[in-house]
């Protein structure tokens, strides 16, 4: 069963912020939201994760709605190297499984 | 984070043969996993490699086809046995330390083409 829903694709302009949405309406109280990305021909790269508070690191920001049913990954200044498939994954703290959906194919254009 | 290497990075094999893929981590980790990514598809977990005991396989994957070893806390192997063209995929290992909220880190993957 899919726990998250993401748009299949989106285009972004280089230098602009990229906002990637994710719906996870059935998320449980002990489940975290993780984001990974996979650049072509490489292994998935961890980006960020959060429980209910907004999070920021050197790569991105994660905004989680108050009801936790959706979230947005923000790449503040997209570059061509950010072109990748982005995966939003819901996972509980005691579950080792990462269930990858189809993700969002993000294309950053010059 | 963790630095993970896989060998080989890619290979072309004949059907009916077997290939063993190695995964090496730069530090001790508790959990190691093997995933498969078929062409144009997302990642699917094959199994959890358990140190000192048999691997735990996900539904649809069996030990005879994908035997796994994990002799210590930094190394694991996955063998793809009796290969067919349907086994052509990227095989990835991932690792995780335990304690608190964990992050899983992935290796670069092994690209396998079976002719």
* Residue B110: how many other CB atoms lie within 10 Å: 23
* Residue A67: how many other CB atoms lie within 10 Å: 9
Partners of A41 on chain B (C-beta within 8 Å) are 109, 111
pLDDT of residue A47: 96
Q: Closest residue of B to A97, CA-based?
A: B45
Mean pLDDT, to the nearest integer, of A6-20? Answer: 97
Backbone angles phi, psi at B114, to 5 degrees: -110, 125
pLDDT of residue A2: 55
Show the tokens assigned to B58: 């996900």
| Pair B19, B66: CB distance under 8 Å | no
The verdict on a CB contact (< 8 Å) between A98 and B43 is: yes
Q: How confident is the model at residue B97 (pLDDT cuts 50, 70, 90)?
A: confident
Partners of A33 on chain B (C-beta within 8 Å) are none
**How far, rounded to the nearest angstrom, does the alpha carbon of residue B41 sit from its chain's CA centroid?**
17
Show the tokens assigned to B7: 């060998």
Show the tokens assigned to A106: 């993000």
Q: Nearest by CB to A43, which of B42, B48, B107?
A: B107
Q: What distance in Å separates the CA atoms of residue B105 and residue B88, rounded to the nearest whole number? A: 23
Q: What distance in Å separates the CA atoms of residue B31 and residue B95, rounded to the nearest whole number? A: 6
* pLDDT(B80) > 60: yes
B53 CB within 8 Å of a chain A CB: no
Q: pLDDT tens digits for B10-48? A: 999 999 999 999 999 999 998 899 999 999 999 999 999
Quick one: how many helices (H) and strands (E) in chain B? 0, 11
* Residue B24: how many other CB atoms lie within 10 Å: 15
Show the tokens assigned to B106: 């992935």
């Amino acid at each position: 069963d899919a726990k998250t829903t993401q748009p299949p694709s989106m285009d972004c302009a280089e230098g602009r912020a990229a906002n990637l949405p994710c719906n996870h309406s059935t998320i449980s109280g002990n489940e975290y939201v993780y984001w990974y990305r996979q650049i072509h021909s490489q292994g998935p790269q961890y980006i960020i994760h959060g429980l209910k508070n907004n999070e920021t690191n050197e790569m991105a920001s994660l905004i989680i709605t108050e009801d936790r049913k959706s979230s947005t990954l923000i790449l503040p200044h997209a570059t061509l190297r950010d072109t990748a498939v982005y995966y939003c994954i819901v996972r509980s703290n005691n579950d080792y499984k990462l269930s990858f959906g189809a993700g969002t194919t993000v294309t950053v254009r010059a | 984070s963790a630095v993970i290497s896989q060998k080989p990075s890619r290979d072309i094999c004949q059907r009916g043969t077997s290939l063993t893929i190695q995964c090496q981590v730069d530090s001790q980790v508790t959990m190691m996993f093997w995933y498969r990514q078929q062409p144009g598809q997302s990642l699917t977990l094959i199994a959890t490699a358990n140190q000192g005991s048999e691997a735990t396989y996900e539904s649809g994957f069996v030990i005879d086809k994908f035997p796994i070893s994990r002799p210590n806390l930094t190394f694991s192997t996955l063998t793809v046995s009796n290969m067919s063209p349907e086994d052509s995929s990227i095989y990835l290992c991932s690792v995780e330390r335990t304690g608190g909220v964990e992050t899983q880190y992935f290796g670069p993957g092994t690209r396998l083409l079976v002719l």
